[in-house]
């Protein structure tokens, strides 16, 4: 009798127990998942896809700088958190050689398979007599300035990015009389934004992106599913 009563008590407890509460974060994640496009920023195209499996893809195009990223996303309170799985190795400039050319200019050339792309996507400055001269004339796999031909005290190079800021590479010539410098660029993860624990604010079904490098907040509107 005691055993039967105990069994009914267990069944009554199970049947009468309330159903587990739905996970609010799971419901929010289901609503948030989808495709988003940048709104309100002129001359810039950008999109973000938050897939239901917890992965994301991102792209942005501004001028000649195209950037992308991919990784995983989670929800933390009122924010979507992006963590990139893009390659970790950054791009780098490698100095090859320098010489003196019999031309009234300073020239920086790029060797290798990506030489033309490097010349197009690099900003360069030559320091001469304490003044900076932009290497803003470009052709094929090199860039140059006709404003100075030496003595060259320093060459500064930086890859152009949109959301991502790349470090400046500086080369001090062994011979200040040289006015032609050759570099090789190892591309690494150039073109990837690499969002590392970047938070996008959730508000009214839209996402808002702001990183320390950005001077404004980007608003992403969800497309109809």
Q: pLDDT band at residue 213, thresholds of 50, 70 and 90? A: confident
Give pLDDT tens digits for 145-191.
999 988 999 999 999 999 999 999 999 999 999 999 999 999 999 99
pLDDT for 158 equals 97
How many Cα atoms occupy the beta-carbon half-sphere of 5 within 13 Å? 2
Assigned token pair, 6: 């105990």
Are 61 and 120 within one domain?
no
Residues 145, 118: Cα–Cα separation, whole Å: 17
Structural domain including 47 reads: 23-86+192-222
Side-chain-facing half-sphere of 220: CA atoms under 13 Å:
24
CATH number of the domain where residue 196 is located: 2.40.128.360
Between CA 196 and CA 208 the distance in angstroms is 16
- For residues 105 and 129, membership in a common domain is answered with yes
Q: How confident is the model at residue 146, as a pLDDT?
A: 94
Q: What is the CATH number of the domain that holds 168?
A: 2.60.40
pTM above 0.75, yes or no: yes
Mean pLDDT of 40-62: 95
Phi, psi of 14 (to 5 degrees): -70, -50
- Which alpha helices (H) appear in the chain, and where do they start and end? 2-16, 24-32, 115-121
Q: What is the pLDDT of residues 172-185, one digit of tens each?
A: 999 999 999 999 99
Query: Does the pLDDT value for residue 9 go beyond 70?
Result: no
% residues pLDDT > 70 (the chain) = 88
Structure tokens at 82: 């992006």
What's the rounded Cα separation, in Å, for the pair 104 and 179? 9
* pLDDT value of residue 63: 84
Whether 138 and 114 share a structural domain: yes
Of 8-12, 81-85, 121-125, which gets the smallest average pLDDT?
Answer: 8-12
Helix (H) or strand (E) holding 62: strand 55-62
């Amino acid at each position: 009798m005691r055993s039967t009563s105990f069994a009914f008590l267990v069944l009554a407890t199970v049947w009468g127990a309330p159903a587990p509460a739905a996970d609010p974060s799971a419901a929010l994640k289901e609503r948030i998942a989808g495709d988003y496009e940048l709104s309100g920023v002129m001359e810039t195209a950008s999109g973000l896809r938050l897939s239901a499996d917890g992965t994301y893809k991102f792209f942005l195009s501004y001028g000649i700088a195209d950037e992308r990223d991919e990784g995983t996303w989670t929800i933390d309170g009122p924010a979507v958190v992006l963590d990139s799985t893009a390659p970790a190795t950054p791009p780098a400039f490698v100095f090859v050689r320098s010489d003196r050319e019999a031309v009234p200019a300073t020239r920086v050339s790029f060797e290798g398979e990506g030489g033309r792309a490097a010349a197009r996507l690099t900003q360069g400055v030559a320091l001469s007599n304490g003044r900076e001269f932009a290497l803003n004339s470009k052709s094929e796999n090199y860039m140059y300035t006709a404003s100075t031909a030496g003595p060259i005290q320093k060459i500064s190079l930086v890859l152009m990015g949109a959301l991502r800021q790349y470090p400046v590479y500086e080369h001090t010539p062994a011979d200040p009389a040289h006015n032609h410098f050759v570099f090789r660029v190892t591309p690494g993860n150039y073109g990837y934004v690499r969002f590392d624990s970047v938070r996008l604010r959730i508000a009214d079904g839209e996402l808002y992106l702001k990183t320390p490098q950005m001077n404004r907040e980007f608003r992403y509107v969800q497309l109809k599913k």
